[in-house]
Amino acid sequence: MRLPENVTLKEVGPRDGLQNEKVFVSTEDKVEWINQLSKSGLSYIEVSSFVHPKWIPALSDADEVFSKITKQPGVTYSALVPNAKGTERALKANVDEFAVFMSASETHNRKNINKSIEETFPVLKEVVDEGRKAGKKVRGYVSTVFGCPYDGNVAVGEVKKVCDRLFSMGVYEISLGDTIGIANPKQVGEVLEELVKDFDADRFALHFHDTRGLALANTLAGLNAGITSFDGSAGGLGGCPYAEGASGNAASEDLIFMFEEMGINTGVDFNKFMKAASFIEKALGKPLPGRQLKLLEGRA
């Protein structure tokens, strides 16, 4: 196995984790949670989304959350930015880094963004251009890389086309999403083998959902393919509003535990992170699926 000495864990729970929750977590609890995450050693936290509040009510307080969190040195605080209006809000909120998003499959892109793939590029280019002009780095998310709930299999060639367009715009990293948790380790290895023929491995991150219990196995396949950047969500929070049946993201604490046990440094204090994971679980008032959280609480 080809194992790196270090990996970067990007905590997406405050955005991708909460966006699908029916319970509205108060602004005060969001701020407290993010402040706890900030002190755990994480270098990257995706705080919220500047999508119109009508579409994602759970994150309707993005502006207020950004104004109230206590930023720690060395931590990047990012947000999802969908369009010109979102860009305006994100710049006003002094977001450190923008994230843009689209799908590799046509139907999911239409359901998620209400546009075709081709129609999406000019909208995202405007966000990228404005963000970079303001000195912001821009990250990209590509959903349904390993399979679509509507279109089925997604050809690697289609993924390459989308990645090529996004990189050409100036996106520095693309997070490859297994939106419905359908990927398996063999497939992950094969897809990455094709992608790294055209793009450097260090320009990709992996974003797995644990729908079928394969998120950690798929992460291992990613490591073996040279990927060192991974998205996770505290407690395994998350899902996709436009992909029925998509369960939570890979639990950050499970990723941290696996990496550290394998001798791969994450820079994260496990105990401090677990405190933050327990906090959001209590705020939501329901048990979360992360395995380390279950062990901590005697639910395993």
Q: Write b or e for each residue in 128-154: b if 16 or more Cβ atoms lie within 10 A of its Cβ, otherwise e.
A: bebbbeeebbbbbbbbbbbbbbbbeeb
pLDDT tens digits, 247-287: 689 999 999 999 999 999 999 999 999 999 999 999 999 99
User: Is residue 298 very low, low, confident or very high in pLDDT (cuts 50, 70, 90)?
Assistant: confident
pLDDT tens digits, 104-152: 999 999 999 999 999 999 999 999 999 999 999 999 999 999 999 999 9
Q: What are phi and psi of 79, to 5 degrees?
A: -150, 155
Tokens of 287: 């048990």
- The alpha helices in 76-227, defined as continuous H runs, are 84-92, 106-113, 117-133, 156-169, 185-198, 215-224
Q: Which of the following is catalytic: 240, 246, 250, 283?
A: 240
For the chain, the helix, strand and coil percentages under 3-state DSSP, each to the nearest 5? 45, 15, 35
Note the pLDDT of residue 285. 93
Nearest CA among 101, 62, 34 for reference residue 243: 101
CA distances from 43 to 23, 98, 130 (A): 28, 15, 24
User: Is residue 2 very low, low, confident or very high in pLDDT (cuts 50, 70, 90)?
Assistant: confident
CA dihedral 281, 284, 286, 287 (to 10 degrees): -20
Tokens of 19: 């966006």
Specify whether 148 is catalytic: no
Q: Do residues 120 and 94 make contact, with C-beta atoms less than 8 angstroms apart?
A: no
CA distances from 55 to 51, 78, 98, 111, 276 (A): 7, 19, 19, 12, 27
Tokens of 21: 């929750």
Tokens of 36: 């706890």
The separation between CA 105 and the C-alpha centre of its own chain, rounded to angstroms, equals 18
